[in-house]
Amino acid sequence: MSMENYSPGLEGVVAGTTAISTVGKKGRGLTYRGIAIEDLAGHASFEEVAHLLIHGTLPQDEAELDSYRKRLTALRALPDALQRVLEQLPPTAHPMDVLRTGCSALGTMEPEVGAGNEEQVADRLVALFPSMLLHWYQFHRSGARLSGASDEPGIAAHFLRLLHGSQPDELRQRAVDVSLILYAEHEFNASTFSARVTASTLSDFYSAITSAIGTLRGPLHGGANEEAIKLIERFTSPDDAQQGLMQMLAAKEKVMGFGHRIYKYADPRSAIARDWALRLCGGVGDARLCEIAERIEEVMYKEKNLFPNLDFYTAIVYRLCGIPTEMFTPLFVFARVAGWSAHIIEQRSANRIFRPIAEYVGPERQEYVPIGKRR
Ligand code: COA
């Protein structure tokens, strides 16, 4: 076997076909089912985007959107058995582990029945992930059993209401809504690929989503938004940030929230997230976080020619919406479950098991020496 086809990290390898999104394609940019991300983030709600990804089309009119929202709202309540599982998880657990476990547990309570109900399972997960996380969180903080209920029509507002216990203001609600749209889908990224690999064995929907959550958790992928806010908040001023960044770069440290495998010049989602971060900084009258972030962006561009990816400014959006840091990556799950679901459905519709090969670099063939004669 030759190494000629070997590409570390599968860089540049076409691993399948998709009709769900385009990422970094010349003349197309980032689109979900052909619609530009700028249009979706500018005009749509996350529920419209979830419908587009999971069910294949935008809702045709207000009535269809309203009925989809009502369906998702009705799917928000947690089964009693799942509430009890969540209550057993330690308060010190990482919320990503809570979602991964919650998803896996739900798979034992509401398993897929036969073929053809993937879209219902996907809607259930879209509706249920915020309820799962906030039930676990509030139970350990105050003993409250939320059971996932709230009649806020949108997922962003539902999440903020369960987190803060009050009606979210319009600006924050829309900022989170837009972040969910930006996070919803991104072609063959690591977690989506992981979901597709699991689906390709004809495993069940919940196993594929559980694989994806585990893959998203790492700081090189979804976990970068949590690392980004830790970095920004480490500094007291733009000058302090500049000095700190220079030290990190000299030590060859990675700066989370920068760089991308596919994008080489800019991440089209970053400009939208940046705009929302600036709006929120203006809205709460606290420019410091944005000034520090902008200086980090300047230094990274000048020193490394690197640009912020979606996670960098989204981290500021989440901080200014009063969201605890360890919930940043779970918010990514709330959104990306729509994209993962679309990919699992697509994989199943034209399946072939993923099974690449490896170049062997281990020892030469050697004799087996029975135990007792090895020295
Ligand atoms: N900070 C510092 N240097 C970085 C960097 C970052 N965030 N991202 C890439 N680089 C540098 C690497 O050190 C490497 O330099 P070298 O060739 O001198 O060794 C070069 O750029 C290529 O990086 P590499 O990690 O090989 O690229 P990749 O395509 O394998 O990885 C990412 C892509 C996204 C994983 C990578 O850019 C990264 O780790 N970013 C930080 C984590 C992050 O924000 N993830 C969210 C992605 S949406």
- Confirm whether 221 is a catalytic residue: yes
Q: Lowest-confidence range among 91-100, 142-151, 216-225?
A: 142-151
Tokens representing 87 are 């209550």
Q: pTM value?
A: 0.96
DSSP characters over 258-282: B--SS-SS--HHHHHHHHHHHHHHH
Residue 163 reports pLDDT greater than 90: yes
Q: Which pLDDT score is estimated for 80?
A: 96
Say which of 94, 97, 140, 221 is annotated catalytic: 221
- The active-site residue out of 55, 260, 267, 343 is 260
Token pair for 58: 């935008």
pLDDT at 1: 53
Mutation test of ligand 1: which of 232, 254, 299, 312 has the most ligand atoms closer than 8 Å to its C-beta?
A: 254
* Per-residue tokens: 339: 């994209």
Q: Residue 148: what pLDDT?
A: 65
94 labelled catalytic: no
Q: pLDDT per residue over 131-147, tens digit each?
A: 999 999 999 999 888 76
Closest C-alpha among 311, 336, 213 to residue 259: 311
CA 250 – ligand 1 centroid, Å: 15
* Rounded-to-integer distance, Cα 48 and Cα 66, Å: 10
- What pLDDT shows up at residue 2? 64
Poorest-confidence range of 103-117, 225-239, 331-345? 103-117
Does the pLDDT at position 313 exceed 80? Answer: yes
Determine the Cα–Cα distance for residues 256 and 275; give it in Å rounded to an integer. Answer: 20
List residues near ligand 1 (CB under 6 A): 9, 220-221, 224, 254-261, 304, 306, 309, 311
Residue 310 Cα: closest atom of ligand 1: 48
Give mean pLDDT, residues 231-235: 96
- What mean pLDDT comes out for the span 246-275? 96
**Per-residue model confidence as pLDDT tens digits over 23-42:** 998 889 999 999 999 999 99
* Full set of structural domains in the chain with CATH: 36-221+333-349 (1.10.580.10), 224-320 (1.10.230.10)
